[in-house]
Chains A and B, each alone.
Chain A
Amino acid sequence: MKKIILSLIILSTIVGCSNNDSNEKNKEANYSVPDTLNFTIFNNKLVLNIENQGETALNYTITSSKNYVALSKKEGAVTSLNHDEITVTVDKQNLPNGKSYSKLYLNINNKKDSIVVSVTNFVEQKVTLNSDVVDAEFSKVTNQLVYVSASPSAVNILSANTGSIESITLPYAPTCVSISPDGKTAVTGHDRYISYINLINKTIIKTYPVSCYANDIVLGNNKWAYVFPAKGQSTFIRSINLSLTTDNEYEHIGERIYEGNKARLHPSGKYIYGAENNLSPMDIEKYDIQNGNAEYSYDSPYHGDYIMNGNLWFSEDGNRIFTRGKTVFKTSELRSQDMLYNGTITTETNPYTPIQWLDHSSVKNNLYLLLVADDNWNQKKLPNIYVYNDSNLSFKSKIPLEQFLVSKSESNKVFYDAEPYFVFSNSAGNNLFVIVKATGAGLAKEWAIEKINIE
């Protein structure tokens, strides 16, 4: 008996649901109105038709449950076999992103009815930048994102805590930037110059001439800057003693490096690790900076065994190196244990496509990766943040980036993917800051920073 009653309840529920699904409602008053009004991100105005399908006149009143929905009229009469049009307008200004629901309440010849109003809103949350972005670093000590721009030539400092951006005008177009381990100073590289920057009072301490075009630069915690040349094939690191105002440039000691190296300071502050470019195979190598001037130590024990691909990042503690080629190596003060293979990050892209950027958050045990699409001719970055477990390099999730909504005319808007170039987690690990570009969207200001909350 219970089963029969249960079946009857289920049946009646299904029938009820199917009635709700119908697009139009037939009431005793014999009229027709839609069940729902759907406002997409592209429209703010719809026309609601009340159709009188009967032989007697209808009188109606209509009200909205929410203030953001406005009606062109609130009452009216519809003669037999005629219809009345009500313009429904939504004000999306204060609505959150995503869908918001409200209702229109109708009273038609003393019969109550309602229409669901669904409004989809899209307001870009990312912050549009007034410049381009050439290079960027993040200090977890000061929670500042420092990026350099060539148009205009400037060091730009984003406070991750307040969201404010301050700029320091540079005398030359910057090619690279490096923040000191304490986050208080930075150096920018240029063509034949470097600039030493005070990030606390936002001033240029001094601009020094150097004998190369700076492809990359590293600022030690010893007031020395290390410039990696863009040209010269077999060449030297330029070690610049920032405490001296003249005669402060030294060529590094030991084996030469090749032009185009990308380099990063090991968290210990004692060493720099560099990634070779423009060579085959590309290796990684280590330089000792404990005596000021850089001294070539050695390269990895491998020669083409693993894909390095020309750039590297460290885990926060410096125990691991992640290369642009997605291979992971252990570091050590002992040469026999240094730069030894530790694993490979498996991505949805093919093994030979590089990663664009990597960031490590030890608080969250996450690695954040930006991936490059599988297209050798068009090195487009995929519009997602890929999250991996730092303990075993396993894939955890993919965070899609907010798109750019761009006008093509007064009535036509088009979405463009955000192409990510840099991603940084803050010291608490609860926020990611992603520098993105609206590639090919035709925007005069095409760079932006998106802030993403991490649970």
Chain B
Amino acid sequence: MQKILLAAILLFTIYSCENDNDSPKNKEEKIILKTNVIDAEYSKKTDQLVFISSNPSQVNIFNSNTETFQKISLAYAPTCISISQDGNTAVVGHDGHITHVNLKNPSIIQTYNISCSALDIVLGKNRWAYVFPEKDQWTYIKSVNMNLEYNYEMPISIYNQLHAGAKGRLDPSGNYIYMQSPLSRGQVQRLTIKNGDIDDRYESNFEEENYTIPSIWFSENGDRLFTRERSVLKTSELNSLDGVYNGRIPSENNYKIDWLDHSSLKGKLYVIFSSGDQWDLIKSNSIYVFNDADLSYVNKLELEKYFNQTGRNNVETFDAMPYFAFSNSTGKNLFVITKALDSDLVNEWAIQKININ
């Protein structure tokens, strides 16, 4: 009887040890993705994080409330995505095409041929899409009226000329696109799209101090615009008050902004920083938090590392590099798309959910 008891205790101890060894893997809380991530947007209307992948080519819809996924297979490799203001549709850019998709009932609405490779895309009101070309130096934004069956790409005009590399974002009012030039001064321009096609533009006097990679993010109400160089500009319908310097997000190490999200409910800005240049970007491995009222620094949110069980007692860890961060409509959660740094993991992309108190 004693021998049986001893054997039982021994078996129990061995099992306990094995469970202990496995604990890091079990604790990993991030949602591992089976795709890569090319571009992503978030709709606070539907609380859906929508990201595109090229491996495989699809639109991935992550419901942040239920934490479930849906997908729409794409005919071409996607390069960029933009969600409509109501969150029900999106438009995906490709090389020579754009695809209009239904996010409510995940399906393709229609694919359109366009005369460029899409670097960036903006979905406006009333089924208009605006494509920022990747190449050709001096070129034009392609305004696409997706209400038309034929001749849907609008002719060039004096208002939509730009230098390839410029990127834009829809102003929350839906009446304007703001874009930043890739040229040395990093000019910010406001394009009027109230009537569908771009029919007016205003260039602000603001100039970045250094060459920059065009990037624009908005505060939720669209009153402020944030650039990669940490510049903050006020926006306005009046030219005299539009694109006026408001301040700079502090960074002791002179980091650049790789991504920014604003939660007006929490009064916070969530920032992904990077250092280095466009050829050698080094991302911060945490999310920096600032007060929106005065741009003062609050704290850093650490990201969960990646774990790889290589043996019974061996676990490799990899830093998680953040690419996109989105606060949800209640401001209580932050969803961060991360990639494992320098890993040979099969699935290196993930979504991390961070609770915001």
Contact = CB atoms under 8 A, between A and B. Distances in A.
A134 interface: yes
Interface residues of B, number: 25
A442 B297 CA distance: 12
A408 B297 contact: yes
A412 B297 CA distance: 10
Nearest to B297: A409
Contact of B294 (A134, A150, A175, A406): A406
Given A407-B291, A443-B293, A444-B294, A151 B246 contact: no
Interface string A405-443: 011111010000000000000000000000000011111
A132 interface: yes
A106 interface: no
A417 to B, nearest CB: 13
Interface string B286-309: 000001111111100000000000
Nearest to B222: A151
B236 A132 contact: yes
Contact of B232 (A151, A173, A442, A445): A442
B223 A442 contact: no
Interface stretch (B75-83, B120-128, B237-245, B340-348): B237-245
Contacts of A444: 219, 223-224, 292-294
Contacts, number: 66
A446 interface: yes
A360 B89 CA distance: 58
A408 B291 CA distance: 9
Contacts of A442: 232, 246-249, 294-295
A150 B246 contact: no
B234 interface: yes
A173 B248 contact: no
A407 B224 CA distance: 18
Contacts of A445: 293
B287 to A, nearest CB: 16
Contact of A134 (B234, B235, B241): B241
B354 to A, nearest CB: 21
B250 interface: yes
B296 A409 contact: yes
Contacts of B241: 132, 134, 150-151
8 closest Cβ pairs, A-B complex? A442-B247, A442-B295, A407-B296, A173-B237, A409-B297, A150-B238, A444-B293, A407-B294
Interface of B: 219, 223-224, 232, 234-238, 240-241, 245-250, 291-298
Interface of A: 132, 134, 150-151, 153, 173, 175, 406-410, 412, 439-446
Given A440-B248, A442-B246, 12 more contacts: A150-B237, A173-B238, A406-B294, A407-B296, A408-B294, A410-B296, A412-B296, A442-B294, A443-B294, A444-B219, A444-B223, A444-B294
